[in-house]
Chain A
Amino acid sequence: MKKFIASVLVFVLCFAPVASAAVYEGQRVRIVIGSTAVSGDSYMVADIVNRYLQKYLNCNSKVDPVGANEAFATIKTAAPDGMTFMIFHDMTYLGVLFGSYSKDYDLENMVIGPRVGQNPGSCFAGKVNAPYKDMKEMAEWLKADPSRTVRLSVELGSVSNLAFVIYYVWLKDTYGEEVANQLRFVLGGSTDTKLQQLWDNNADVIFGDYSSFLQYTKEGVDEQLALKYVGIMDRIPGRDDVPVYGDMGITMEGKPLYFSKDFLIYLPKGTPDNVVAELDEAVAKMQADPQFQEDMAKMTYAGNTLQSKEAKEFIYAKRDAIKNVLAEAPNIEDLE
């Protein structure tokens, strides 16, 4: 019976006239994000997007920084009416791929909405006086003397873990396993923890966000504190002077690697199509808004959106490619 009613409902909703489709008009909307920090890219992107969604959906939405666990749990249990959704980056599927989260949280158990933006600035940074200027040189430097090691501070099961693995696999394929095994894995934490590790000389290279390291790479910073970028995972518009993974020749599955964090809207399973369609429409308007593009660019993010259909194909393909790389990767715990 329930199923019958549900299918009737879906039927009615699908064929309901588009004019009456304003589900969001005047509603209170809760946007959960997978981070508790309000200074990270997850919050910043969600905050910008939230302002434009309010404008184009005409709703009263609010960003709740509940953290990854709570955000996933919310999407699992929330009513599929579109009034609660998540904006989060690649951690959504990485958590499952790395085994930190159960299959209950698989992409297949969510409805994938439009992509709302990208952050190209995931990067590794090292001490300013490190003997290599980027991660390509780092490979040569390692190869030159097998007794050398580089300690990279990353977090398990995150984008940084992926960045480490991609580099490791590329090193292994290009320079051989011995060189790759000269990489050492250091358990990181928040950006502050990692900076402290670097300053305490407990790590040589740390992972973080381009913008959060920017101040330390500027001229005039105390040498003890100063950093330099050694590998950014994607091109940042207007910054041609920094080493980018793909440009240095780092590849994944044979192709130069350019990896941006993709921020998508994720909705609870069973969310009706007209809700997603309304989000798509609002995101399309947002994409066309020059002010939105400017706001994103100011934070070194990119306002490249995708409609939900393409976003779904895109993120599934991205996940499958990464799954293959992870299959090749060693157990990171052995490189400690």
Chain B
Amino acid sequence: MILNLGLALLGTAVGIIFGAIPGMTATMAVAVFLPMTYAFQLVPALYLLLGLYVGGISGGLIPAILINVPGTPSSVCTGFDGYPMARRGESERALKVGITASFLGGMISLIVLALLTPPLAKMAIKFSAIEKFLIILFAMTVIAALSKGSMTKGVFSGFLGVLLSLVGELSMNNKMRMVPSFLSDELRSGFQLLPLLIGLFAICQMFQEAEKGMQSNNLDEGVTVEGAKKFSFSDFKGQTVNVIRSSLLGTFMGILPGVGGSAASLIAYSQTKSFSKHPELMGKGAPEGLIASESSNNGLTGGALVPLLSLGIPGDATTAVLIGAFLLQGIQVGPLFIGQHPDIWNQILLALFACNILMFIVMFFPIKLISQVVKVRSARMYPVILLMCIVGAYATRSGVMFDVWCLLLFGIVGYVMNKIGLPTAPFLIGFILGGDLEKYFIEAVKGNN
């Protein structure tokens, strides 16, 4: 047990590092550690990997809040409100709100996993391509919620993102589109999400700051961290419904195979905005937006395990890697898994419980230190961010130099878009959802005989 908890702690801590580094994700963390788990028994291996999973999903909130660069795709919405809070000097408060929301999301999804797995899995496979197409379309409506200035420009930018996501080969018929022939090797599998994401946020910001001469840090002028509003659990007052709704939305998106984690936080965010008493404050540093995003992306963790453990079908990209851990130990996950291995099943629930608590402890207490990052001068911070981004981009597909060029390319694209007044967040969201939108559209039309 001590060993297991030690591994869970290690996993959570390393996962948080992976999540916090722009361009590195929970999926990558689990994949990196997977071959090492061969040396363990399955149960300790699961403690480690689930720790990486929970930590990796949670760690993404740190850079999203502190430097407006989502550490993982599922924390895209975290920065919408987290970063304005940090600029007001409330970085510590924002981080604590985010971590608490993550913890609550993880726990709620754990309860769902523990109590409702078999019936929910049965329901999940009833969702056909048509429903999944509609869900993705629904997630895209967050673009409207985001477009503050001009709705048309936001939607235009979103569709540009969708168009870009179609570049490359359609895996269904192995045919390429929109690829110049001299790039056919590089662009065969299209542009990768992570280089695009961090290019659009981190590198673009670096150029913007360079243009301004790298004068200051990320705080608004005249703001001090000391004078800012402090965190207290009363920040969650009146947010009960938001927490539960967002967590359950995240869990539900996790349960549906093939609907990714980013869709979860997008839908939770736009739902929170439409139910909010002060929708005008969202996007300007309202804790409720932060709560929605973080409780939903951690809600995903338990949800994604539902179809994995009861059907053998992973709920998201990270759980797809987790299957590998079972296979390495010669254990099949599928419809009989829970019945045949009740001991492992109980250990998984226990591990997830432990990992969520550990995640909370590991992140909550050193937060004072981490939140000081906002005070670091841009001139010193951006080179280090750049270094991390390069590692992240290169590691996206385990070592493809083209992805690092894309990092630069999308840094420039983001910079130009900002200059001509096209919002980049809808562009990113369009890109994230574009591939699935096409896939489920085609499947829906073709499958519906």
Contact = CB atoms under 8 A, between A and B. Distances in A.
Interface of A: 30, 32, 36-39, 43-44, 47, 50-51, 62-67, 69-70, 73, 76, 98, 100, 156-157, 187, 189, 192-193, 195-197, 199-200, 202, 211-212, 214-216, 218, 220-222, 224-225, 298-299
Interface in B113-133: 122, 125, 128-129
B398 A215 contact: no
B335 interface: yes
B175 to A, nearest CB: 9
B330 A298 contact: yes
Contacts of A66: 397-400
27 contacts: A30-B399, A38-B320, A39-B321, A39-B323, A44-B327, A47-B35, A50-B35, A62-B35, A64-B398, A66-B399, A69-B169, A187-B173, A187-B446, A189-B171, A196-B128, A196-B257, A200-B447, A202-B446, A211-B327, A214-B334, A215-B312, A215-B335, A216-B335, A220-B336, A221-B335, A221-B336, A222-B335
Given A70-B189, A156-B174, A189-B171, A43 B324 contact: yes
B337 interface: yes
Q: Which 7 A-B pairs have the closest CB atoms?
A: A215-B334, A64-B398, A39-B323, A38-B324, A202-B447, A69-B188, A100-B174
Contacts of A225: 125, 311, 335
Interface SS, A side: mixed
Given A66-B397, A195-B313, A215-B337, A299 B174 contact: no
B213 interface: no
A39 B30 CA distance: 12
Contacts, number: 108
Contacts of A63: 35
A202 B129 CA distance: 11
A45 to B, nearest CB: 11
Interface string B73-102: 000000000000000000000000000000
A69 B31 contact: no
B335 A38 contact: no
B125 A39 contact: no
Interface string B151-190: 0000000000000000001011110000000000110110
Contact of A214 (B129, B311, B332): B332
B125 A70 contact: no
B333 A215 contact: yes
B366 interface: no
Contacts of B328: 44, 47
A98 B173 CA distance: 12
A209 to B, nearest CB: 11
Nearest to B313: A192
Given A65-B398, A66-B398, A70-B189, 13 more contacts: A39-B323, A44-B328, A67-B397, A192-B313, A195-B313, A196-B257, A199-B125, A202-B447, A202-B449, A218-B336, A220-B336, A222-B122, A225-B311
Interface in B17-55: 31, 34-35, 38
A187 B174 CA distance: 11
Contacts of A67: 189, 397
Given A38-B31, A66-B399, A187 B172 contact: yes
Contacts of A50: 35
Interface in B231-268: 257-258
A230 B188 CA distance: 34
A156 B397 contact: no
A211 B172 contact: no
B336 A211 contact: no
Nearest to A211: B332
B39 to A, nearest CB: 10
Contact of B128 (A47, A192, A200): A200
B373 to A, nearest CB: 32
B314 interface: yes
B189 A156 contact: no
Contacts of A215: 312, 332-337
A49 to B, nearest CB: 12
A20 to B, nearest CB: 30
Nearest to B442: A187
Given A30-B399, A64-B398, A187-B173, A299 B330 contact: yes
A299 B313 contact: no
Interface string B423-449: 000000000000000000001001101
A66 B443 CA distance: 26
